[in-house]
Amino acid sequence: MPRTLTLAGGLALWSAIAMASDSAPQVEPGRATELERLVIQDCGSCHGLTLKGGLGRAITPDLMQHYDRHDLRDIILDGIPGTAMPPWRPLMTEADALWIADYLRGETP
Ligand code: HEC
């Protein structure tokens, strides 16, 4: 289901927030904007728009800080086999996934 969701959409609010995040180190600013939209729209489709849980568990910064950033990157890239958590490797690079890991841990500006 979520694979068919589009990255397009561009809610003005999220664009404004994404612009404030342009200094994220690992990826280009434009990619960071796209990844932030992906987290809200695609991850949010299962984890809730505010990431507080839905079909998938809550993935808020207070919870995600307990993960090593590389472990979190691997969960994002490979998914969790046997659950609805899909692998995202076909849609992003390792640097992208690491950016999302940091984003989820509340560590991107
Ligand atoms: C199709 C629904 C779905 C989508 C889309 C989805 N997830 Fe998940 N995710 C799940 C489910 C279900 C689980 C819980 C799996 C389990 O029971 O262990 C999960 C688990 C996780 C976990 C582990 C949480 C924990 O407490 O250990 C992380 C991190 C995570 N997802 C991140 C993401 C990110 C980042 C995205 C977007 C790139 C994403 N998910 C998109 C369904 C989804």
Looking at residue 26, which CATH number applies to its domain? 1.10.760.10
Residue 2 token pair: 């979520």
The answer to whether position 3 is within a domain reads no
* Ligand 1-lining residues (CB < 6 angstroms): 2, 39, 42-43, 45-47, 55-57, 59, 63, 72, 75-76, 80, 83-86, 88, 100
pLDDT at residue 80 tops 80: yes
Host domain of residue 89 = 10-104
Which residues have a Cβ under 8 Å from the Cβ of 16 and sit 6 or more positions away?
none
Q: At what angle do helices 29-38 and 94-104 cross, to 10 degrees?
A: 60
Contact 101, 69 (CB under 8 A): yes
The answer to whether position 34 is within a domain reads yes
CA 85 to ligand 1 centroid distance, Å:
4
The answer to whether position 4 is within a domain reads no
The answer to whether position 70 is within a domain reads yes
**pLDDT level of residue 108 (50, 70, 90 thresholds):** confident
Q: Please tell me the total count of domains within the chain.
A: 1
The answer to whether position 2 is within a domain reads no
pLDDT at residue 21 tops 50: no
3 backbone φψ class: left, alpha, beta (φ>0; ψ -120 to 50)? alpha
The answer to whether position 49 is within a domain reads yes
Task: Give CA–CA dist 19/31, Å, rounded.
Answer: 11
Tell if the pTM clears 0.85, that is, is over it: no
CA 48 to ligand 1 centroid distance, Å:
10
CA 68 to ligand 1 centroid distance, Å:
16
